[in-house]
Amino acid sequence: MQTRLCGDGWTHEDGISVRGRAFAEESLLEGEALARRFHDAVDRADPDNSLESISEAVADAAVTLEGFYAAVVRTPDVTILVADGARSIPLYYDASGTIVSDRGTVVRDSIEAERDPVAENEFLLTRYVTGPETVWQSVFAIQPGEVVRLEDGNVTRGTYREYWPAGPSVGSGAEDPESRLEAALETALDRLERVAGDRPVVLPLSGGYDSRLLASSLVARGREVIGFTFGRSGHPDVEMSRAVASRLGIQWEFLPYDEETWREWYHASSGVRYRERAFGGDALPFLAEWPALRELLERGRIPQDALYCPGHTVATPSERLPVFTGESSRGRSGRSGGCVPATDGADDESESKPDSEPESRIEASLEALVEYVLETHYGLWEWDDDAFREAALERIRRGVLGGRQPEQLTDPTRLAAGYERWEWRGRMSTFTNGDLRAYEDAGVDWWLPLWDPAYVRAWEQVPLEQRREKAAHASLAVEAYRNAANVSKRRARRTDRSLSPFDRCLSLLRHTPVRQFSERDGDWLPPFLAPRSSWSEPGQHPLAWYGAVDDEVLERVPDSRGFYALRTAAKTGRLRLSKLTESVPENGRIELSTE
Distance in angstroms (rounded) separating the CA atoms of residues 193 and 173: 33
Do both 144 and 32 map to the same domain? yes
DSSP at 494: -
Same domain? For 179 and 262 the reply is yes
150 contacts 79 by C-beta, under 8 angstroms: yes
Q: How many structural domains does the chain have?
A: 2
State the Rg of the chain over Cα: 23
Q: Which domain holds residue 110?
A: 2-159
- pTM of structure: 0.94
Residue 282 near residue 105, CB atoms below 8 Å: no
Let me know: does 279 contact 247? Beta carbons within 8 Å: no
- Length of the chain in residues, anyone? 595
CA distance 67 to 35: 14
Whichever domain contains 91, its CATH number is 3.60.20.10
Complete edge-to-edge strand list for the sheet that includes strand 201-204 = 251-256, 225-231, 201-204, 307-308, 445-446
What pLDDT, on the 0 to 100 scale, is given for residue 49? Answer: 59
Residue 523 lies in a domain: no
3-class secondary-structure state, position 362: strand
Distance CA 315, CA 332 (A): 16
The CATH number covering residue 285 comes to: 3.40.50.620
Residue 73 and residue 49 in contact, taking contact as beta carbons nearer than 8 Å? no
146, 5, 149: which is closest to 80 by C-alpha? 149
Q: Are residues 147 and 169 in the same domain?
A: no
443 is a domain residue: yes
pLDDT in the model for residue 560: 84
Say how far apart CA 66 and CA 453 lie, in whole Å.
Answer: 6
Give the C-alpha separation, 267 to 287, whole Å: 13
User: Per-residue pLDDT tens for 60-106?
Assistant: 999 999 999 999 999 988 999 999 999 999 999 999 999 999 999 99
Q: Cα 287 to chain center, whole Å?
A: 12
Concatenated DSSP letters for 382-442? B---HHHHHHHHHHHHHHHHTT--GGG--SHHHHHHHHHHHHIIIIIIIIIGGGHHHHHHT
pLDDT in tens, 161-188: 999 998 875 555 556 888 999 999 999 9
Q: Last residue of some domain: 133, 159, 185?
A: 159
Task: Give yes or no: residues 376 and 462 share one domain.
Answer: yes
Determine, yes or no, domain membership for 280: yes
For the chain, the distance separating the N- and C-terminal CA atoms, rounded to the nearest angstrom, is: 31
Q: Are residues 108 and 198 both part of a single domain?
A: no
Q: How far apart are CA 58 and CA 37, in angstroms?
A: 9
Parts of the chain with a pLDDT under 70: 47-49, 169-175, 328-360, 586, 594-595
